[in-house]
Amino acid sequence: MRRAIIGGTGVYDAGSEVKTEQLVTAYGDVTYDVMKVEGREIIFLPRHGKKHSTPPHKINYRANMMALKMLDVTHVYATVAVGSMNDAYEPGDVFVITDFIDFTKSRVQTFFEGDDGPVAHVEMTEPYCGTLRAAFKEQAQKSGVEIKGDAVYVCTEGPRFETAAEIRMYHQMGGDVVGMTNVPESVLAKELGMCYAAVGVITNWCTGIEGKHIEGHQIAESMEKNKVKITQTFIEVLKEEIDVNSCKCDRSLIVL
Ligand code: HPA
């Protein structure tokens, strides 16, 4: 069984020596790196491609997640770059996602489309694996990664940033941070019975919070500062045995 890391904006490798491979899935082709850490294979998949050439609304989420399933991946950590609309989280801060609110518009969110196949619904009581979240927090303390806290992630369609009025609404609804990619990635992981958790870095204040323009270099700099520490922490957890009985991720699918 393998484990995987999905790298978001600013995270295009996981640092170690790797072999690049490609897999053909029913949804499209996927290119990924394979690294060997103490005898265990860890897959690294750059969500936007190695050169950040795929925008959030065009990412082939189903191909990416199906490729991981075909590679026998059971546990996945992902990084996300986000804007903050919560005063407690400022650019450069690291947080763990506990839940999401979905404002995407045009993305296929399921492998179960009916027709000749079964109809299924995925259970969302714990959208992000509790075991992986706890393991990241524990390892982060040892690895010197300061985690600011937990956050509710609002996923927008993008690729444009939000208006100030949208951010006011998202904040009133209970969102802490805004990004464009964690839905449907996290949902598809659940449909496939994988344990999935996502760790974020605040790259900017959301539109209207400080009244300043969002700058591209801010996003790149915040990710650059944190990416090695975060991916190393992922690897430290993923290379070890993980208790598979302490969560229900592999039983989240309700088939009717
Ligand atoms: N909004 C949406 N997605 C983002 C942002 C943001 O402010 N920052 C980084 N990704």
Q: Is the CB of 161 under 6 A from ligand 1?
A: yes
Neighbouring residues of 216: CB distance < 8 A, sequence distance ≥ 6: none
Q: How far is CA 67 from CA 43, 63, 155, 172, 199, in A?
A: 10, 6, 23, 37, 21
- pLDDT tier at 14 (50, 70, 90 boundaries)? confident
Q: Is the CB of 202 under 6 A from ligand 1?
A: no
CA 240 to centroid of ligand 1, rounded, Å: 33
Q: Is the CB of 8 under 6 A from ligand 1?
A: no
CA 81 to centroid of ligand 1, rounded, Å: 7
Q: Which of 90, 97, 161 to mutate to test the pocket of ligand 1 (most atoms within 8 A of CB)?
A: 161
The pLDDT of 57-77, averaged and rounded, is 97
The pLDDT of 201-212, averaged and rounded, is 92
Q: Which domains does the chain have, with CATH numbers?
A: 2-255 (3.40.50.1580)
Query: Is the pLDDT assigned to residue 17 strictly greater than 80?
Result: no
Per-residue pLDDT reduced to its tens digit, 99-110 = 999 999 999 999
DSSP 3-state of 222: helix
- pLDDT tier at 57 (50, 70, 90 boundaries)? very high
CA 84 to centroid of ligand 1, rounded, Å: 8
The average confidence (pLDDT) of the chain is 94
Neighbouring residues of 41: CB distance < 8 A, sequence distance ≥ 6: 2, 3, 34, 35
Assess contact for 131 and 242: CB atoms under 8 A: yes
User: What is the model's pLDDT at position 167?
Assistant: 98
Q: Is the CB of 83 under 6 A from ligand 1?
A: yes
Phi, psi of 51 (to 5 degrees): -110, 20
CA 38 to centroid of ligand 1, rounded, Å: 36
First to last CA, the chain: 29
Assess contact for 126 and 247: CB atoms under 8 A: yes
- pLDDT tier at 208 (50, 70, 90 boundaries)? very high
Q: Which of 157, 163, 207, 214 to mutate to test the pocket of ligand 1 (most atoms within 8 A of CB)?
A: 214
- Name the residue type at position 13: D
Q: What is the pTM of this model?
A: 0.96
User: What is the model's pLDDT at position 210?
Assistant: 85
Query: Is the pLDDT assigned to residue 59 strictly greater than 90?
Result: yes
User: What is the model's pLDDT at position 193?
Assistant: 97
- pLDDT tier at 217 (50, 70, 90 boundaries)? confident
For residues 147 and 133, give the distance between their C-alpha atoms in angstroms, rounded to a whole number: 11
For residues 238 and 77, give the distance between their C-alpha atoms in angstroms, rounded to a whole number: 9
Query: Is the pLDDT assigned to residue 41 strictly greater than 90?
Result: yes
189 Ramachandran zone, left/alpha/beta (phi>0; psi -120 to 50): alpha
**219 or 93, higher pLDDT:** 93
Structure tokens at 199: 């760790």
CA 178 to centroid of ligand 1, rounded, Å: 5
Query: Is the pLDDT assigned to residue 63 strictly greater than 90?
Result: yes
- From 6-20, 87-101, 229-243, the region with the lowest mean pLDDT: 6-20
Q: How far is CA 233 from CA 32, 73, 105, 155, 240, in A?
A: 20, 18, 33, 25, 12
Q: What is the DSSP letter of 123?
A: -
The pLDDT of 193-211, averaged and rounded, is 95
The pLDDT of 204-221, averaged and rounded, is 88
For residues 251 and 123, give the distance between their C-alpha atoms in angstroms, rounded to a whole number: 9
Per-residue pLDDT reduced to its tens digit, 94-153 = 999 999 999 999 999 999 998 889 999 999 999 999 999 999 999 999 999 999 999 999
Phi, psi of 164 (to 5 degrees): -65, -35
